Structure 1
């Protein structure tokens, strides 16, 4: 990758140059130490002139139509005067580490709009439906003038909730009659969701979608109201027919207004910064430890012993952690 200096990135981001934005995200995703150092300098500088934005996380089971929804919803936001950035996370192969990164193909019309920017990234080894640098990418998009940042996760699962700690509004998408989907989603994500959208509310599924909304609202009334006082809302939408985007945006705007009114919007972002810091520290400590030759050798030896049933997992873990503590002492 061609090297540029700090001013190149800062001036390019300030000029809302999407080419520079793409280069900056590539820089902060790089594993090279020199790139990471420059990326840290960029992030430190852009924090001084943070622009107001709304960060929206979108999750849902595969096939629910997240990409189609985001393309239509993003176009709607642009019609309302917004500049929209989409950070789409694709799952990485557990075997090769590769990823298809096909989100631009799925959002062809939006990707051509000069007021939009779509960045597909591989999830890598990160849990939570995002990648290790999604938070940094959000800040870079904001610095480049995008005031609506949409983070699309790889799907719903037990670990697909990390995105909730980096966005202002967490949106869960489901399909009409998604009883089985809701069983798979479990209560945790339902409680985290600030809003739920029932997509594909069109054609033969329109009546089913309305019934699903009624059922969902009844279920949500059983949940305790959050400390913010916000009650999770449910809206119908048809990405196919481009209907319901205005109601979804109204829901998000109402949430933002209420959170800013009670001071929790800024407080939530501050809490997210602390979580971000703790995550980076934990990752850094892990990298420091795994770079120790002595620890790496013992790790490999213990893996073999566990594989051959020569020692228990708990015994091997205790032995490895004992050496780690000794190295950190």
Structure 2
């Protein structure tokens, strides 16, 4: 397809050029959840449109959606002025040492591609306690003390191995329908893990979905914030989701994650709190929209990038 026109870049004197926050987007914002799905846009179209919307940074998304040949992917991204910030993996480390080898095999292929693309982060999402499509309860939503020890200890091991072998920083992503979700569970996880080995990927939408205050978390645990996902929740839809006890997949299909600035949390104070940390930080836009019509994401991406520039990002 024809590459969308590139909006003009902010001038050197604009607020965004003075910020240490690097804004990007991800396949998730184009409705991509799986390596291959007929309801998802082709990877070439995603790359064309994310570049055309004015973003310079992307995440890899589900392994196998974008080309896994580093040379091909480098050619395709560089030709569109794009760079890779991170790869993403799902893990179930609370299950203990028995899952380590299987987990590492999954991590290693993602980490190797991320490293080859010049990325410096690996986003780690804990596994779901209920099926995100059917709502089937897969395990207890509350971890036992032993499972917490497995989760924290093996996440530290993962952080060490990923850093030593691939030069990446592990950033753990609190997520709806996982065991690291609410303020209580997120702070418990942070208090029990080594800051040198494990940082946090704060997803503002998921944290709000689970009742958390992103600004408070940044102000309280600023040294642990290693990465941001920018996302908003529609409060009215969220109220329905909670009342009906919907799993995350159907909640997304209903539109629980919405286009900013229509939802919560307000992103201006989140970005202000992040800037106050005075550290280099990625802020990757993620608006869960699976499934969605193929022509829907690009106009949203254009408006969202414009909105974030108005916030100084």
Q: TM-score when scaled to structure 1?
A: 0.35
TM-score scaled to structure 2, two decimals? 0.37
Q: Greater relative contact order: 1 or 2 (C-alpha under 8 angstroms, separation 6 or more)?
A: 2
Larger Rg: 1
Higher helix proportion? 1
